[in-house]
A and B are shown apart, each in its own frame.
Chain A
Amino acid sequence: MAELKQTQQRQWGMVIDLDKCTGCQACVVACQSENNIPINEEAHYNQRRAIQWIRVERYWEGEFPDIKARFMPVLCQHCDNAPCEPVCPVYATYHNTEGLNVQVYNRCVGTRFCANNCPYHARFFNFWEPAWPNSLKNQLNPDVTVRSRGIMEKCTFCVQRIARVKRKAKNEGETVNDGDRALSPACVNACPTETLFFGDFKDPNSTVAKMKDKETHGGRGYHLLEEIGTDTNVVYLKKVDKHAEAKEEVHA
């Protein structure tokens, strides 16, 4: 992995500032709309099979009246040492040269091995055939494969947008611009509070690389479940709560 990381040209990643996230769910629906995610019906929630490539988790802290709710957007962390990758028997998921953890739908047989092994629960299985009324199919994004049942799916960092921008840049002889909104995933563009930042960690001038550099060295940056050693490409910035007790940081 380390060699691959050095030779690859790009390293797409995200920075999520938890101090800004309000839990408004705009990213969730934006993702749903962009990526042809099936409608999560009531039964899907009851069966715990709802599909949300990005989801906002809410954790309680304390008791009434000193109660706090913490919001946390969680999506595929595109780990460099992804636990999901080595377990897939058919190579339906693998790491590409741009740091993306890719899911190849047509290859997937649906063993769900990867989903078990994902510490972030970022992988979603199509237990049912997705059903849209015919007229709603007009809205489906033609750039994204419509997954049938029996297939694992997860956040792709909107790879179709990256591909489109890269193709356009190549055809027109330009370079891929870090701040290009056409490049950013749908969730990043939707976020009202600018909680999410997307870019190339390999490009030292990109916003995310600068933020990562600044925040992971003594700042608020951390990786989710860092102790597992998955080496994720999503950097979270700690929530600031001036009433919180200063927690002792344990670094291994």
Chain B
Amino acid sequence: MLPGDFQPSRPTNKQLIKWGILSLVSLFFVAVVVGVLMFVISAWLGKPLSVFGYDEGPDQPIAFPHTRHVQELGLDCTFCHRNVETGAAATIPPVGLCMTCHAVAGDGLAEVEKLREVAAAGEAIDWVRVHRVPDFVRFNHSAHIIFFSEQDNILSSEVCAVCHGDVGSMVKVEQARYLKMADCVNCHRDNNAPTDCVTCHY
């Protein structure tokens, strides 16, 4: 190995242009990869980025306007989600409950007619799930409702908004909160609730 073996040469202009284009292309490629990764990671950590409508709620088989029922008619959350104070699940109301009003109310509305068809056929509605925690999480609505309503001295139906956002003002229900474990744990810490794993996982 002799010193001076290596003679660096100045690049020509042609080479410089070639390298410039190459680096631009790779920069673009990197940008695309980073963008995709960001989307995936943000989706992993919380809600998808609000691009291309990824943050919107899903279309339901029957477009049920919470605005109409909650804001305009003043129905309480617990009027339909009856189990929320006593059970683990808030429960979606059965078609029969809808029909207690819609047997007469809402004539002529296309969505109500759909509902009546379903009710007449004796079927159930396949609502699309908006909020979902994985199977290994034991979320219990009643415990949360009772805790917050007692702590803040508010009505049960006012507690719902803590996690679900102001559903009453949503035409299409969307996920308001991340509902990832960090979200749960932080809230539990803030409220001195147990953070023992076995509180939710068993």
Contacts and interface: CB of A to CB of B under 8 A. Distances in A.
A160 B138 CA distance: 9
A181 interface: no
A94 to B, nearest CB: 7
B201 A104 contact: yes
A162 to B, nearest CB: 9
A144 interface: yes
Given A102-B197, A106-B134, A160 B146 contact: no
Interface stretch (A73-81, A109-117, A163-171): A163-171
A contacts with B: majority SS:
mixed
B196 interface: yes
A163 B200 CA distance: 9
B135 interface: yes
Interface string A179-213: 00000000000000000000000000000000000
A146 interface: yes
Contact of A146 (B135, B138, B198, B199): B135
Contact of B201 (A105, A143, A170, A171): A105
Interface size class of A (residues with CB under 8 A): 20 to 34
Contact of A145 (B146, B197, B201): B201
A116 B84 CA distance: 43
Contact of B197 (A94, A144, A167): A94
A159 B202 contact: yes
Interface size class of B (residues with CB under 8 A): 10 to 19
Q: Which 5 A-B pairs have the closest CB atoms?
A: A106-B136, A145-B136, A102-B198, A104-B197, A159-B202
Interface in B143-202: 143, 146, 196-199, 201-202
B41 to A, nearest CB: 20
Contact of A97 (B136, B196, B202): B196
Given A94-B197, A106-B136, A160 B142 contact: no
Contacts of B202: 102, 143-145, 156, 159-160, 163
A96 interface: yes
B198 A171 contact: no
B168 to A, nearest CB: 26
Nearest to A156: B202
B83 interface: no
Interface of A: 94, 96-97, 100, 102, 104-107, 143-146, 156, 159-160, 163, 167, 170-171
A171 B197 CA distance: 21
Nearest to B86: A171
B72 to A, nearest CB: 33
Given A94-B197, A104-B198, A171-B146, 8 more contacts: A104-B197, A105-B136, A106-B137, A107-B201, A143-B202, A159-B202, A170-B143, A170-B146
Contacts of A167: 140, 142-143
A96 B201 CA distance: 12
A3 B166 CA distance: 45
Interface string B37-67: 0000000000000000000000000000000
A236 to B, nearest CB: 25
A161 B138 CA distance: 13
Contacts of B135: 145-146
Nearest to A163: B202
A102, A106, A160: residue with the most chain B Cβ atoms closer than 10 Å: A106
Contacts of B143: 167, 170-171
B138 A107 contact: no
A35 to B, nearest CB: 10
A34 to B, nearest CB: 12
Nearest to A160: B202
A160 B202 CA distance: 7
Contacts of A163: 138, 198-199, 202
A96 B200 CA distance: 13
B142 A159 contact: no
A94 B201 CA distance: 13
A143 B198 contact: no
A126 to B, nearest CB: 13
Contacts of A100: 198
A104, A146, A167, A171: residue with the most chain B Cβ atoms closer than 10 Å: A171
